[in-house]
A and B are shown apart, each in its own frame.
Chain A
Amino acid sequence: MKGLLYKEVASLMGLYKKNLVLVAVIYGALSVVTRNNFFLFFGIWMMGFYSLSSFSLDDASGWGRYARTLPISDKQIVGAKFLAALIFMALALVYALVIGAVCWAMDSASFAWADFLAGVLLVTAVALLSVGLMFYFAVKFGPEKSRNYFMVAALAVFAVFFLAGQVGLLEAPSEGDLAAVLTWMESHMVLVPLAAIALAGLVFFLCYLASCAVYRRKEF
């Protein structure tokens, strides 16, 4: 497993090393200069997205066929990919915290740690959900189709809510309702992001299990 994990991380770093350094410098600088956290938050999601490339690299090099001849299980092969994605997202999360600390050190009065941390955790939850689903699609349909299937899945979720609203199954929330939800969320600044992370983590794990089941049936 250690070797597999190293293979995933080393391959991705080999592919993206220069790009990651550039992105880190630009996003870090933009965040500090503009005092806008968007770039840091986006970086977490983006790093998860980057790790999807490990499937393309494997396809191009024929690794899948070779891996089946090695003394490793299918769960380890798939698990190494999911773990590598977690490592990549964790790196971006740590980077976001470091740049957040820099922003706070430069202007502690206007920097709200609680908002920042809640944002980081919520974005991490979204990244976990997205990456888990995309990885599952990549195992089942291949990396190229994975992005398309993910888009379709995301659109399908929105379409369900939209159509439900159109046929009167969902009532449009009033301004008062929205305000109440926001107030409730603000008063649970710790609970909401942590619950989101827990839920996304569960989905990520379920995607891993489903990917293992698909991978076991695959032939190369």
Chain B
Amino acid sequence: MENLIEIQGLCKHYKDFTLDHIDLTVPEGQIVGLIGENGAGKTTTLKAVLGVIRPDGGAIRLLGGDPGDPAIRSQVGVVFEDSYFYGGLCARQIDRIMAGIHATWDSALFHGYCRRFDLEESKPVKDFSRGMRMKMSLATALAHRPKLLVMDEATSGLDPVVRGEMLDLFLEFIQDEGHGVLMSSHITADLERIADQIAYIHKGKLLFQQDKDLLLEDMAILRCSAGEIDSLPKNLVVARRGGAYGSAALVRHPQNVRRLLPSAVLDRADIDEIMQFISGGDKQ
């Protein structure tokens, strides 16, 4: 399996933030979900992948080449948080603009997506709802038949129905084994539904990139007394928190924990909880 994106030791320094030696890959045929708190470095990572910003260190290979190479960029579809065309333009004009930019632009495909998404082609973008604008962005990202989709919070702020439609489209896109998706999202339920791998960035560092199913199978929430948590081997406890009603810990290898603490309660951990435990942001 070939990697569509390979990031090694990516660094980017700002006055108040540093992206610190990020290693990340997006293999063919996979959807990689990038998670992290606000300001963790997800957007900075995506910008570096796309060549929007220059890294201060590390190496990025995008589809086997340099992100700044126009020939490479022509094979990438991008969706950012909101529309990026002047609001007075309509879908027909966007079609004409993009046809003059992408050599592989397929107007028929674009119009097909507009029909599928119920986008009125003569209506100015500014009159669309946010959901409609995101659909327009997605149609624009897909109409030149890219190999790779890179999306930054593409589903945030959308209602469940629109989000569902978009997620179905991502799954459709990934049916081609040569395609790949890298998407950041705060809506971890979306990633649980469609992602093959999860990469977690916390305060500018990549904490892990792991197969989603393995991650969810391998982690659990242990609810018991603080003493019981203390009694576990250190390598089983990922993070812990104490509260008025007892203690809880995010633990690895739940079957081993169950063997050691047969009477303790072990719940399935979802991505939100894993994030909350690791970031320490869920103080109760």
**Secondary structure of the A contact surface, majority rule:** helix
Question: Are A15's CB and B85's CB within 8 A?
Answer: no
List chain A residues, Cβ under 8 A from B82.
62
**In the complex, which residue of chain A has the Cβ closest to the Cβ of B73?**
A71
**In the complex, which residue of chain B has the Cβ closest to the Cβ of A10?**
B93
Question: Are A61's CB and B87's CB within 8 A?
Answer: yes
Say yes or no for A63: interface residue by CB 8 A criterion: yes
List chain A residues, Cβ under 8 A from B50.
68-69
Interface digits, B67-109 against A, CB 8 Å rule (1 contact, 0 not)?
0001101101010101111111100010011111111000000
Say yes or no for B13: interface residue by CB 8 A criterion: no
Question: Are A72's CB and B89's CB within 8 A?
Answer: no
List chain A residues, Cβ under 8 A from B260.
none
Total number of A-B contacts with CB less than 8 angstroms? 84
List chain A residues, Cβ under 8 A from B57.
none
- Expressed in whole angstroms, the Cα–Cα distance for A11 and B101 within the complex equals 16
**In the complex, which residue of chain B has the Cβ closest to the Cβ of A56?**
B86
Say yes or no for B258: interface residue by CB 8 A criterion: no
- Expressed in whole angstroms, the Cα–Cα distance for A152 and B156 within the complex equals 44
Within 8 A of B (CB), among A30-77: 57-58, 60-63, 65-66, 68-73
Min CB–CB distance A12 → chain B (angstroms):
9
Say yes or no for A162: interface residue by CB 8 A criterion: no
Min CB–CB distance B280 → chain A (angstroms):
31
List 8 A-B pairs, Cβ < 8 Å: A1-B100, A3-B100, A65-B47, A66-B80, A70-B73, A70-B102, A219-B53, A220-B52
| Chain A residues in the interface with B (C-beta under 8 A) | 1-7, 10-11, 14-15, 57-58, 60-63, 65-66, 68-73, 219-220
| Chain B residues in the interface with A (C-beta under 8 A) | 47, 50-54, 70-71, 73-74, 76, 78, 80, 82-89, 93, 96-103, 124, 150
A3-B101, A4-B101 are known; give 9 further A-B pairs, CB within 8 A: A4-B100, A6-B100, A63-B86, A65-B52, A69-B73, A69-B150, A70-B73, A71-B74, A73-B70
| Nearest 3 Cβ contacts at the A-B interface | A3-B100, A14-B88, A2-B100
